[in-house]
């Protein structure tokens, strides 16, 4: 197997982008319209007034940092990530590596409690922080998915959220921790979202396979999204907001109206970055296809129906940067 090395990347200037900002406390039909526009144009948006309490977020951040500041030998007790647990540099099983360490967890409370024993010296505190955080972001994800269905004028407005509400949902939770770059002088090289000459790939270019990702990070930049044709833009960090992005399954279920956009995380700051991602996914046996309202003679079905299990198997057999949704396109396209 050829193993890619996380080489320093070209220090091209990457411009910052101001993603669409959705205020969840605004009038419902306006919110759903703006979410649909953002998902069609960028596949990404920032969410403010999201209702997840500062306390829930702070507890999760504290537990994440407690874990990553442990000595490597202790962190390795929670690994290797096959697929769940602690991983360092290796992403997935197909030779992808990056300047990142992470904890990958499934979202089942029982398995979180069991795994907490190898992660934390205070397993109950760790598992209640994770379970509380996942519960809150799942509720938020369901609300966003209902708003999306309403904005798309789909009759069954819970068609997307039902999948992640299901007790068998295959949703995941991931904590990523990226090392700082070497900065000679913190004053002259402040933490910034611009690319530095010593930037390295933390988490390589990819799209998220699931329905929806709810991401947040500390106040350190690194996330970039692709506008296509090799153009990357930097998403400035904002710890008060969630960054929401469309996954491959939602691109298929919206019959290609919403975009599952490629993104990556670079290490380009003097401070370490920690991000937390909730990936809302269907149960393995659930069928993924676009609702009838989104399939018309002018817009025929773009992707053949598939189960999430089938899609996941394909995704996990491929490299991080591979375009897996193309394998499921219907013949007429
Ligand atoms: C190389 C891989 C890592 C990944 C599984 C895959 O084979 C391709 C998709 C990758 C990804 C990206 C988004 C999430 O971080 C993730 C957990 C997922 O579901 O798909 C990772 C997978 C992983 O790290 O195991
Ligand atoms: O750390 C980040 O900002 C991005 C992480 C990411 O894309 C992922 O975990 O899938
Ligand atoms: Fe991602």
Mean pLDDT of 84-106: 97
Residue 14 has pLDDT above 70, yes or no: yes
Ligand 1 atom with least separation from CA of 320: 1
Pick the CATH number of 21-181+208-283 from 2.60.120.330, 3.40.50.2300, 3.90.45.10, 2.120.10.30: 2.60.120.330
Give the start-end residues of each E strand in the chain.
15-16, 21-23, 44-48, 85-91, 96-106, 172-178, 200-206, 212-217, 223-228, 231-234, 242-246, 263-267, 273-280, 287-288, 306-307
Torsion of CA 41, 222, 201, 88, to 10 degrees: -120
CA of 83 to the centre of ligand 2 (A): 16
| Measured CA distances, 108 to 70, 111, 134, 167 (Å) | 25, 5, 10, 8
Reported ipTM exceeds the 0.95 cut = yes
Sheet holding 200-206, edge to edge: 15-16, 231-234, 223-228, 263-267, 200-206
CA of 157 to the centre of ligand 2 (A): 28
CA of 188 to the centre of ligand 3 (A): 31
Q: If pLDDT is split at 50, 70 and 90, which confidence band does 332 have? A: low
Ligand 1 atom with least separation from CA of 206: 12
0.90 exceeded by pTM = yes
Ligand 2 atom with least separation from CA of 102: 9
Burial class (CB in 10 A: 0-12, 13-18, 19+), 278: buried
- Ligand 1 pocket: which of 280, 316, 322 to mutate (most atoms within 8 A of CB): 316
Summarised one tens digit per residue, pLDDT across range 271-329 is 999 999 999 999 999 999 999 999 999 999 999 999 999 999 999 999 999 999 999 99
Alpha helices in the chain (DSSP H): 28-41, 54-68, 72-75, 109-119, 123-151, 161-165, 248-253, 308-316
Average pLDDT, the chain: 93
**Radius of gyration (Cα) for the chain, nearest Å?**
19
Residues with active-site annotation: 273
Question: Residue 323: nearest ligand to its CA?
Answer: 1
Quickly tell me which residue has 């070209």 as its tokens. 10
Residue 164 has pLDDT above 50, yes or no: yes
Q: Report the 10 Å Cβ neighbour count for 83.
A: 13
Mean pLDDT of 79-83: 93
**68, 177 contact by CB (below 8 A):** yes
Sheet holding 273-280, edge to edge: 21-23, 44-48, 242-246, 212-217, 273-280, 172-178, 96-106, 85-91
Q: If pLDDT is split at 50, 70 and 90, which confidence band does 188 have? A: very low
Residue 106 has pLDDT above 60, yes or no: yes
Mean pLDDT of 103-131: 97
Residue 49 tokens, joined: 């007034």
Q: What are the residue ranges spanned by the domains of the chain?
A: 21-181+208-283
The answer to whether the CB of 104 is under 6 A from ligand 2 is no
Ligand 1 atom with least separation from CA of 316: 7
**151, 39 contact by CB (below 8 A):** no
Name every protein residue with a CB atom under 6 angstroms from any ligand 1 atom. 83, 91-92, 94, 96, 104, 172, 174, 206, 208-209, 279, 315-316, 318-320
Torsion of CA 164, 242, 291, 262, to 10 degrees: -110
Summarised one tens digit per residue, pLDDT across range 216-245 is 999 999 999 999 989 999 999 999 999 999
Protein residue whose Cα sits closest to atom 7 of ligand 1: 316
Summarised one tens digit per residue, pLDDT across range 26-58 is 999 999 999 999 999 999 999 999 999 999 999
**What pLDDT does 13 receive?**
80
CA of 190 to the centre of ligand 3 (A): 25
**What pLDDT does 198 receive?**
82
Q: If pLDDT is split at 50, 70 and 90, which confidence band does 183 have? A: confident
**What pLDDT does 165 receive?**
97
**Cα 266 to Cα 199: distance, rounded to the nearest angstrom:** 6
**22, 35 contact by CB (below 8 A):** yes
Protein residue whose Cα sits closest to atom 24 of ligand 1: 92
Residue 68 has pLDDT above 90, yes or no: yes
**Residue percentage of the chain with pLDDT more than 70:** 92
What residues flank ion ligand 3 with Cβ within 5 A? 208
CA of 245 to the centre of ligand 3 (A): 9
């Amino acid at each position: 197997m050829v193993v890619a090395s996380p080489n320093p990347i070209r220090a091209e200037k990457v411009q910052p982008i101001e993603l669409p900002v959705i205020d969840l406390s605004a009038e419902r039909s306006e919110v759903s319209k703006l979410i649909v526009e953002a998902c069609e144009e960028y596949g990404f948006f920032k969410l403010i007034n999201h209702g997840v309490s500062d306390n829930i977020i702070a507890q999760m951040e504290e537990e994440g940092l407690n874990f990553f500041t442990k000595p490597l030998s202790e962190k390795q007790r929670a690994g290797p990530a096959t697929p769940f647990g602690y991983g360092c540099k290796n992403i997935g099983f197909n030779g992808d590596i990056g300047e990142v360490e992470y904890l990958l967890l499934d979202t089942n409370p029982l398995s979180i409690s069991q795994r907490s024993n190898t992660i934390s010296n205070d397993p109950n505190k760790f598992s209640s922080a994770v379970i509380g955080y996942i519960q809150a972001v799942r509720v938020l994800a369901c609300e966003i998915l209902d708003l999306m269905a309403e904005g798309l004028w789909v009759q069954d407005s819970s068609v997307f959220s039902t999948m992640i509400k299901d007790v068998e949902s295959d949703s995941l939770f991931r904590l990523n921790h990226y090392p700082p770059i070497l900065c000679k002088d913190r004053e002259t090289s402040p933490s910034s979202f611009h690319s530095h000459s010593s930037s390295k790939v933390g988490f390589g270019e990819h799209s998220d396979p699931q329905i929806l990702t709810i991401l947040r990070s500390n106040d350190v930049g690194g996330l970039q999204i692709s506008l296509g044709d090799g153009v990357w833009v930097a998403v400035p960090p904002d710890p008060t907001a969630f960054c929401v992005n469309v996954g491959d399954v939602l691109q298929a279920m919206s019959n290609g109206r919403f975009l599952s956009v490629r993104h990556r995380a670079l290490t380009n700051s003097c401070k370490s970055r920690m991000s937390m991602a909730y990936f809302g996914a269907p149960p393995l046996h659930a069928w993924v296809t676009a609702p009838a309202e989104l399939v018309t003679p002018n817009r025929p079905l773009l992707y053949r129906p598939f189960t999430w299990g089938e899609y996941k198997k394909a995704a996990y057999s491929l490299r991080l940067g591979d375009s897996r949704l193309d394998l499921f396109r219907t013949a007429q396209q």
